[in-house]
Structure 1
Amino acid sequence: MEFSSIEGAKEFYNLFAKVTGFSVRNDDVKQDKNQNLVSRKWVCSKEGYRKKVCLENENRKREPKAITRVGCEATFRIGFNKQMNKWIVKEFMADHNHPLVKQNNAQLLQSHRVMKNADKAQLNALRDVVMGTSQIMDYMVQQSGGYNNVGFTKKYLYNHVDVDRRVHLRYGDAEGALAYLCGKSEMDPSFYYKYNVDEDNRLANLFWANSISKLDYTCFGDVLAFDTTYRTNAYKKLLVILVGINHHHQTIVFRYALLVDESVSTYTWVLETFLDAMNNKKPLFVITDGDKAMRKSIKRIFPNSYHRLCAWHNQCNAFTNVHVKDFTNHFSNCMFMEGTIEEFECAWNDMLEMFNLHVHKWVIDIYIC
């Protein structure tokens, strides 16, 4: 067979795969010395085998995914013919070593999942009226008469929404966020937000909270905890959530803040802004993960509050920093023990002696804290 373009060849083989009942995956690409494509190859998605390093990983934290590659040799390769100025089929292997998918389920295979323009338009219209992605998927399934007729999976729909959201990210997002918060404050007089800018007049730190959070802090603001997500958002900013516990032992959120860095001045700005939003009510206890900059800011803004380290973070840090068997268990016993100061000192020294950690930097630092 002959094709005028690589795209035409790929479309043909993918259509052939859909009719036959398998999924296509890109494989080998060859170029000449001028970096011009001279050969293109596609294979069955079950070609090859999973790498041994993935199968023999003894430190796996999650259950391994199902084996999908079984060494299938089905192949379709084209090469460029300069005389004809066309792409010619050079290799074709049709046999598979695995069962093929039935025709009514083939559209759910990865290379055949396609959202039509009509589906995309309907998706955008439903998102504009604030319908959730999961609800949109259920609606499209009912509209199509079943999952087999939709043409894509729920995960594919979520991925499409995520990609579309990233494409629409613009430099004006900061102005849009501030305009949104301003509108919220006009509708809710108790809504609070504050921000500052850097030397280039760009948004640096942003702080906001609603009226319910303010009421919660009035009732349950004796203990304040910092929760940090460490720049997992698209803007690489530090998201800090100030939380507490209500009388049902449920976590409640007091305030949010997007920060440019983890410096003392930034944390000081957060705590000063927090006090301003909370009518200068200071917590009795503040719980953190032990960040030094945060510790200095707490001493400066909350001098009469008791600063405590988060037990969960301490256990994680002990496991990460001290690679000695059974140390974490003994460390937790010391941390949670009930007794006098003398009894704690005795248990702590016994632990240091047992594991020979008298000069370990992290152990010394955590004891000082």
Structure 2
Amino acid sequence: MSDDDSLLEYSEIVMKMFGSEDDGFEFYNNYAYEKGFSVRKEYCEWDNDHNERTLRKFVCSCEGFRAEKEVWREIKKRRPRNITRCGCRAQLVIAQDPNTEQWYVKDFIDEHNHPMTEPDLACFLRSHRRISDDQKAEIVQLQISGIRKHQIIDIMVRRYGEYDKVGFTSKDLYNFCHRNKAETLSSGDARTIISYMT
């Protein structure tokens, strides 16, 4: 992208207005998908009554650094995750106009200190993965039918054509199944618990 194109893109973004905080996040997440990075919600500010947020910062997932206590801890119950935070400064800060209740761009930094992900791999970055409600319902039905988790992901891949078109990874599937089972059992329905144990 040329300098003129970059400047034009920057100007368009800083002039953006959003109807809600969620709209702002969706915009930045879609922008990140096109560029090849992942985002997360960071700092926020509240109104005087602490009822509504008035400012929200969205950052690149590589923002900040891992806490030293996590890096140097000698006794670890789990294998440490790969270090992905490298102090990236990229961010989008939006604030709410109290008069119009619209959200405007207060700050935008588009400087990354790390390489971007290839376009065909961006769908595997954390903020771009999601199991839709329809997919959740289908996964539950397949589980009830006795189909195992690794077979479910194979079914999804065949249905959508390619692994990167599914929208989530096998780890996301396992996590969803675990949470769904825990929620089902915690509801205390005796018939459900007996059925599961059987």
TM-score, normalization: structure 1?
A: 0.46
Corresponding residue number in structure 2 for 1:147:
163
Please give the alpha-carbon distance, in whole angstroms, between the structure 1 residues aligned to 2:71 and 2:195. Answer: 51
Corresponding residue number in structure 1 for 2:41:
26
List aligned pairs for 1:107-126, cutoff 5 A.
107-126=123-142
Change (3 A) 1:83 1:176: closer
Identity %: 36
CA shift for structure 1 position 176: 4.7
Corresponding residue number in structure 2 for 1:164:
180
Q: Which has the higher contact order (CA 8 A, sep 6+)?
A: 2
Confirm or deny that 1:70 pairs with 2:86: yes
Asked which structure has the greater CA Rg, the reply is: 1
CA shift for structure 1 position 38: 1.4
CA shift for structure 1 position 107: 1.2
Contact 2:184 2:192 in 1 (8 A): no
Which deviations, in whole Å up to 9, do the C-alpha atoms of 1:182-216 show, x marking residues without a partner? xx7xxxxxxxxxxxxxxxxxxxxxxxxxxxxxxxx
Local SS of the residue matching 1:168 = helix
Q: Give the total of aligned pairs.
A: 181
Contact 2:66 2:83 in 1 (8 A): yes
Amino acid aligned to 1:127: Q
Which deviations, in whole Å up to 9, do the C-alpha atoms of 1:38-68 show, x marking residues without a partner? 1111100000011111122233465432111
Confirm or deny that 1:53 pairs with 2:69: yes
Among 128, 134, 138, which residue is 2:154 paired with? 138
Amino acid aligned to 2:33: K
Among 17, 20, 30, which residue is 1:2 paired with? 17
Which deviations, in whole Å up to 9, do the C-alpha atoms of 1:253-272 show, x marking residues without a partner? xxxxxxxxxxxxxxxxxxxx
CA shift for structure 1 position 179: 7.7
Please give the alpha-carbon distance, in whole angstroms, between the structure 1 residues aligned to 2:54 and 2:184. Answer: 36
Corresponding residue number in structure 2 for 1:191:
none
Q: Which has the higher strand share?
A: 1
Corresponding residue number in structure 2 for 1:85:
101
Structure 1 unaligned regions, length at least 5? 185-369
Moved over 3 A (4+): 59-63, 175-181
Please give the alpha-carbon distance, in whole angstroms, between the structure 1 residues aligned to 2:195 and 2:158. Answer: 38
Amino acid aligned to 1:21: G
Contact 2:56 2:95 in 1 (8 A): yes
Amino acid aligned to 2:131: M
Amino acid aligned to 1:112: H
